[in-house]
Amino acid sequence: MPTLLAEIEDLRGNVQQAAEQRLRARDHLDGFETYPELASLYYKLTWRRGEPLTRNELRGLTSH
């Protein structure tokens, strides 16, 4: 799941790889079929207890 991989790369400090994963996710918005995949496109997964959901900004990204 590209959005999850992007979040992991952000946590590792690998900004370039995170950006590439977000672009990959944006390019495949129409191919997701399960609710968790769909939800992860619209909301950032929370990693900490009590952290509020925030919107993903995938639709604002452009391809290379």
CA distances 30 to 11, 14, 49, 59, Å, are 27, 26, 31, 12
Higher per-residue pLDDT: 12 or 41: 12
If you average pLDDT over residues 23-39, what whole number do you get? 71
Could you tell me if 55 and 44 are in contact, meaning their C-beta atoms sit under 8 angstroms apart? yes
Higher per-residue pLDDT: 59 or 36: 36
- Quick check: 52 pLDDT over 90? no
If you average pLDDT over residues 33-42, what whole number do you get? 69
